[in-house]
Every structure is written in C-alpha cells, then in structure tokens.
Amino acid sequence: MCGIVGAVAQRDVVPILVEGLRRLEYRGYDSAGVAVIDGDAHLARTRSVGKVRDLEARLDGHMAGATGIAHTRWATHGRPATENAHPHICRKTVALVHNGIIENHEELRRAQTKLGFEFTSDTDTEVIVHEIYRHLADTHDLLEAVRRALPALRGAYALGVITSEAPGRLVAARRGCPLVVGLGIGEHFIASDVAALLPVTQRFIFLEEGDVADLTRERVTIYDASGQIVERPVKQSELSADAVARGEYRHYMLKEIYEQPRAITDTLTNRIGLHHVYDEAFGTGAAAIFDTIEAVQIVACGTSYHAGLIGRYWFEALAEIPCSVEVASEFRYRRPRLAPHTLFVTLSQSGETADTLAALAHAKTIGVEHTLAICNVPESALVRQSGLALLTQAGPEIGVASTKAFTTQLVALLLLVASLGRRGHLGGDGERRIVGLLRTLPVLTEQALSLDAAVQSWVPAFANKQHALFLGRGTQYPVAMEGALKLKEISYIHAEAYPAGELKHGPLALVDADMPVVAVAPGNELFEKLHSNLQEVRARGGELFVFADAKNGITADERTHVITVPPTDDLMAPVVYTVLLQLLAYHVAVSKGADIDQPRNLAKSVTVE
C-alpha cells in the first residue's frame, strides 16, 4: 500500500527519496511522485503514473533540494492518474504525502471549497494539505499548523509535510498507519518502513499512535498524542542494505520461496530445546497465561488466514483445544461471542494490516484478556498492541504474494500447539513428537524445492487456461486454498479451492478439458477418499495434476499427471505441499509475463480497511 519517504539534509535528497521509493515498491502502487524545496526555497514537484523508473526518467536530474518528500500511491479515492498522485500541494506553499484514508474528506472538501480552496485531484488526501495550509497562514509554524489540522481528520494516516516557508523542516504524523524516523548524522528521514532507508541509516525510531515528529537537520523532536515531548527508544536495525536485495534470483518471490528452509530454521532457533518448546519464546508471562487457556480464536487476512485455518486442525486434533478461525474484516464487524479463557491469536506477516489491528482492538473491547501476535515484523503495531508475541524469522518479505511468511507462520502455530497441548491431552510425548518433526522440516522443504523442474514441466497445461480448481482434504484443504490464492494473485488465472468431498455438490459441473484440477495428496488416512474424488474428475474428462506422496502409488496416464513427493509425515505435509503449489503459481505467472512481485491491483501491506 502507499509508501512514504522523506528527508531533511544538507545534500540533495532526490536520489535518497527515489531509492527509498524503489525499496517500497513491493508494497504495491500505481503512481509515484516527489517534491523538494529547491535552492530558491520554492516547492518543485514531479509525479507520474506507473513505476518508480518512470518517475526517475521524468526527473532525469532536473530537480534537486535538501528537504523533500516522496510517495508511491495505491489508488483508493480517485483513479491512478498524475493529478491524483502525491505529493499534493496547496498554493505553492505546502506539500504533503499521505498513507491511509480520510473518512470525512467529503465534508472537509465542502467546507474548504467554501473557503476558496481549489481542488486538483479526486483524492481524500488533498483536504489535509489545505487544512494544514489554513493553519500555516495563521501561525507561520509548520509544526503548529500540522498539530492544529490533525483533529479535523477522521480516519487513518501517516503523513509527511514540508513547506517553502521553512525549507529545512519536515513534519510527520501517524495514526493508524506505520511510519518510522531514520536518524542520520546531520540529516534525518522518515519512511513507511525501515527497508526504504537502509542505504542511509540503521538507526530508527518507530512512531507510536498519535505521534507527531518535527525533523530538522540538527534534531528530531517527537510529541505524543497529548502534545507532550516524548523520548522514543532508538532501535538499531540488524538488516543490511542488501538484506532486501534480490541477488541472483529473477524475482523476489522465487528468492523467498527458496529461502524457506533457512526461514524455518531461524524460526525454530532458540524456541525449542531437545524435546520441548520454550514457553518464553512467546513473551514474558506466557507460561502462566497458557496454564489458563481453554480455547483459541485466530483472526487474520489473506494468506495469513489460510495459515490459521490449518492451525485449527492442529489445535483441535492434537491439543484438543477448541479453535475458531475468522477473517479479520468479518470478525471486527460481528458481535462475536468468545468462550472464557480464550487466547486471541492474530497472524500477520506485516503486523500493520488494518483489519487485523481493528479485530484485535475489538477483541479487547469485548473482554478478551490474553492476546498473542504471530508476526514477522518486531516493531509492528500488532506486536506492540498484543500481550504476547511470537516472531516468525522469515526476514523481510518483498514479493506481494506471501510465501516464506506463510510457512513460518505454520511453524509458529505448531510451536503454540505443542506448548498449549503439553498442558493437556497432547502431553510431553506429543510435544516431543512435534519438536522432532519440526527439526526435519528444513530438509523436507529442501526436498520439495528439488522438485522445481518437475513442477515447471506442468506450466504449458496452465498458461492458456482461464480457470483452475484446487482440491484437498483435511489440512490440505486450506493448503489448496493457499495454492489457488497464489495462482490467482500472480497469474490472474481464476482459481478456486474446494474440499475434495464437496466436488460433487457443485464444482463438478465445471469440470471439462479446459479446467485443470490440481490435487494435493499426502499419504494420510484421507487419501482413499481423495482418490475417489479424483476418479469423479477423471470420469468427466477433467485433467488432473496431482502432488502425491510416493507411498500412495498413484499412477500417471494421459490425463493424470503426477509429481511424486518423498514420504512426509502428515503434520509436516502442509508446508511441503504448499512449497510445491508456490512453485507452480510462480512458474505459470512467469510464463504469462506477469509482474510477479507487484501483481496488479494488490498491495503487500494493507493499511486501510
């Protein structure tokens, strides 16, 4: 979703801003822009629809300035167009970039129009820059103008603002959307996430809800929501500038698929002893809290939701703990009833997904006492707002289609199942079994990756198709959902997943030679049932693509294609088979020439509702 970068320095900041935008490209966007205060203390701005490289081509060395802001826009209000791209400017004096949504923008627009302000865009953002200008005209103080403007805004925002009246100053604010301050020597920065600023600094302050930051070259002053000056901790990032580099891989998504054995190993490191899971891995006081837990409620969005669906099978079958899973955007607007002693678990790669954060807040208002975030970003709002947290150690995930974050979420869920389950039905032996299996998972994942060439050989059968069906049973049903989501996200082929037993209740009507049917068939007690469902497809002339455990003995024929997967314990199978489905989606999308890492219309981090 929209990305923000800003800088106040002595040197020309345009190259820093453009490099920052390039590093935020993964969030998803459709247009980009930059504004600086030039050597004559005038605001200069360049915007363009399309990629950051298009913006760069327009800039072509024409703009320079030591104070500036830049933005990648993901359209919400107003189509992707140059006039809707940020920065927005009011009366050649104030320039602003915004991430989030201003809900009362129509009301503000009406009021400002009466006051004589002219609108040049269809965005909800433009009202903010006019509001700030209004107060700047009174106060001639940018910080004060921003602080006076903010109470008029209803909704979510991360903002960066500059004015030609104060060339060496940058004011930032956050409410509901992430924003970090980067600390340099004699220069300071803001950005939507640390990745944008890694070439210029490793030291960061993570702004809290309601914070306003006043940046000059010499100092950074932060005011909390009540207007008091506050000291926020300075964090040293351990990421290097090339931690988010693509290396030898053609796409980030492929790199991230191949990083999974390492990501899984890192997620297990320091979390497990020889035979058990350390409760401390979930945060201070986790052990005492876990002793009281009688039910689990999982809430998440997108790929993270699919991880939760798999987790439910494990919580109920292994730990015998009742577990519900719901997409966050539904949970937050229902009137859910949670059992006493429920552990409320949120799953999120980014930790900034607006719906998931709102669901967490809602859970607290209905009396949930114990919350746990399983998240990939330590400084995220979700981690900060949850009582307990288990951080997946996937490392930065850049491809919009989530891969390594998903499989490490599954690992984290198994750690939680083992820890909660030890206290009940699962017992020490069950925990020992899970821990032992998890240790084998990096190698199993490597084995799955070694089937890459076989997966690629299936690509021609999908590349020209409009639709595909994915089938699975048990934990493999959500795996099939994740496979279908991957394919639709990046190749734009319409793909649906069904529990294989549901086939005859509707989707079988769609099966014909133009509908490839993908099945995930590990060697478990459901295989015979799945096998019968696959026969139903074959009998209707459908073409089957089956990932099957070697011991199932499925034979290939003209219309049944089989990739044999090394025998895998059922508990590890969701990770192993997901890797294969990720590879399938990836290679099909590559063959279609799709924009793998930034699929159309999608955003990595969905910070609006």
Catalytic residue list: 2, 604
Angle of helix 260-268 relative to helix 427-449, nearest 10 degrees?
160
**Interface pick for ligand G6P out of 304, 407, 419, 552 (rule CB under 6 A):** 304
Site mask, ligand G6P, residues 211-250, x = CB under 6 A?
----------------------------------------
Distance CA 458, CA 479 (A): 19
- In terms of DSSP bridges, do strands 155-163 and 170-175 run parallel, antiparallel, or are they unpaired? antiparallel
Least separation in angstroms between residue 381's CB and ligand G6P is 11
Cβ distance 146 to 95 under 8 Å? no
Pattern of binders to ligand G6P over 363-402, x per CB under 6 A? -------------------------------------xxx
Task: Supply the minimum distance, in Å, between the C-beta of residue 250 and ligand G6P.
Answer: 20
The residue (of 165 and 609) whose beta carbon lies closer to ligand G6P is 609
Strand arrangement, sheet containing 560-565: 494-499, 467-472, 516-521, 543-549, 560-565
CA distance 117 to 146: 17
Answer left, alpha or beta for residue 311, where phi above 0 means left and psi between -120 and 50 means alpha.
alpha
- Distance of alpha carbon 54 from alpha carbon 61, whole angstroms: 13
Q: Which residue is nearest to ligand G6P (CB)?
A: 302
Pick between residue 332 and residue 604 the one whose CB is nearest to ligand G6P.
Answer: 604
Interacting residues with ligand G6P between 574 and 603 (CB under 6 A): 602
Q: Segment near ligand G6P (CB under 6 A), from 39-47, 171-179, 350-358, 581-589?
A: 350-358
Least Å distance, CB 349 to ligand G6P, is 4
Beta strands in 289-439 (DSSP E): 295-300, 323-327, 342-348, 370-375, 388-391
Whole-Å CA distances, 87 to 5, 136, 195, 543, 598: 11, 18, 21, 51, 22
Q: Give the β-pairing of 155-163 and 94-102.
A: antiparallel
Which listed residue (349, 393, 533, 578) binds ligand G6P by CB under 6 A?
349
Report in angstroms how near the CB of residue 160 gets to ligand G6P at its nearest: 23
Least distance to ligand G6P, CB of residue 209, Å: 18
Residue 59 DSSP SS3:
helix
Strand order through the sheet with 188-191: 43-49, 31-37, 67-73, 3-8, 188-191, 180-183, 203-206, 235-236
Q: Which residues of 281-297 are buried (b: 16+ CB within 10 A; e: fewer)?
A: bbbeebeebbeebebbb
Q: Contact, 191 vs 198, CB < 8 A?
A: no
Among 84, 125, 350, 419, binds ligand G6P (CB under 6 A): 350
Q: Does 47 bind ligand G6P (CB under 6 A)?
A: no
Q: Which of 303, 342, 445, 560 binds ligand G6P (CB under 6 A)?
A: 303
Residue 351, C-beta contacts closer than 8 angstroms, at least 6 positions apart: 373, 375, 376, 377, 380, 381, 382, 383
Q: Which of 37, 299, 530, 606 binds ligand G6P (CB under 6 A)?
A: 606
Confirm or reject binding of residue 301 to ligand G6P (CB under 6 A).
yes
Could you tell me the smallest distance in angstroms from the CB atom of residue 358 to ligand G6P? 12
Which segment (18-26, 349-357, 458-466, 574-582) binds ligand G6P by CB under 6 A? 349-357
Q: At closest approach, how far in Å is the CB of 257 from ligand G6P? A: 14
Question: Residue 572, interface with ligand G6P (CB under 6 A)?
Answer: no
Q: How many chain residues are in contact with ligand G6P, going by CB under 6 A?
A: 16
Burial class of residue 204 (count of CB atoms within 10 Å of its CB; 0-12, 13-18, 19+): buried
> In the range 329-348, which residues lie near ligand G6P by CB under 6 A?
348
Distance in angstroms (rounded) separating the CA atoms of residues 494 and 180: 37
CA distances to 352, 370, 374, 421, 603 from 380, rounded to whole Å, are: 6, 18, 11, 28, 17
Nearer to ligand G6P, 241 or 602 (CB): 602
Taking CB under 6 A as the criterion, the residue among 353, 392, 476, 578 binding ligand G6P is 353
For Cα atoms 16, 21, 26, give the angle at the middle one, nearest 5 degrees: 145
For residue 266, give the DSSP letter: H
From 178, 261, 302, 474, residue interacting with ligand G6P (rule: CB under 6 A): 302
Nearer to ligand G6P, 201 or 402 (CB): 402
User: Given candidates 125, 163, 356, 476, which one binds ligand G6P under the rule CB under 6 A?
Assistant: 356
Least separation, in Å, of the C-beta of 236 and ligand G6P?
24
Q: Which residues pair with 49 in a beta bridge?
A: 31
Spell out where 500-573 has E strands: 516-521, 543-549, 560-565
Between residues 400 and 520, which has the closer beta carbon with respect to ligand G6P?
400
- The residues binding ligand G6P (CB under 6 A) are 301-304, 348-350, 353, 356, 400-402, 602, 604-606
